[in-house]
């Protein structure tokens, strides 16, 4: 079996770690134990530990389940909600040229 190690950019890793830390702080503010959140989310305690550490090998579904348990799933919808750069690129490409009519053979 050939396994390929994925590469994650350092800035992306830091962002994931910060995301995990925010999830942990939200759990602690709610006075929920790791066991409670893991059980309600349907994941193992070790997976929750990895979520809170921001490990990149954890599925997005696990992250979402934890957010859902803590009633933070609406925050998930804010990701890429107002994409300023994407809108600028889209607006720049709105002007399209009309195609020339097809030539007919005489």
- Alpha-carbon distances of 87 from 20, 21, 61, 78, rounded to whole Å: 29, 30, 28, 16
CATH no. for residue 42? 1.10.260.40
Residue 102 lies in a domain: no
Considering the entire predicted model, what is its pTM?
Answer: 0.74
Residue 53 lies in a domain: yes
Residue 5 lies in a domain: no
Residue 1 lies in a domain: no
Residue 98 lies in a domain: no
pLDDT at 97: 64
Show the domain range for 54: 10-92
Per-residue pLDDT 10s for the chain (106 aa) are 566 777 889 999 999 999 999 999 999 999 999 999 999 999 999 999 999 999 999 999 999 999 999 999 888 888 777 788 878 877 777 655 677 777 777 6
pLDDT at 23: 95
- Total domains, the chain: 1
């Amino acid at each position: 079996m050939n396994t390929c190690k994925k590469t994650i950019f350092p800035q992306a890793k830091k962002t994931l770690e910060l995301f995990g830390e925010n999830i942990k702080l939200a759990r602690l503010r709610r006075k929920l134990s790791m066991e409670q959140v893991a059980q309600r989310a349907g994941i193992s305690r070790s997976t929750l530990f990895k979520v809170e550490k921001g490990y990149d090998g954890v599925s997005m579904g696990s992250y979402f389940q934890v957010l859902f348990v803590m009633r933070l799933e609406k925050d998930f919808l804010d990701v890429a909600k107002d994409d300023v750069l994407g809108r600028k690129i889209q607006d720049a490409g709105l002007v399209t040229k009309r195609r020339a009519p097809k030539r007919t053979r005489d």
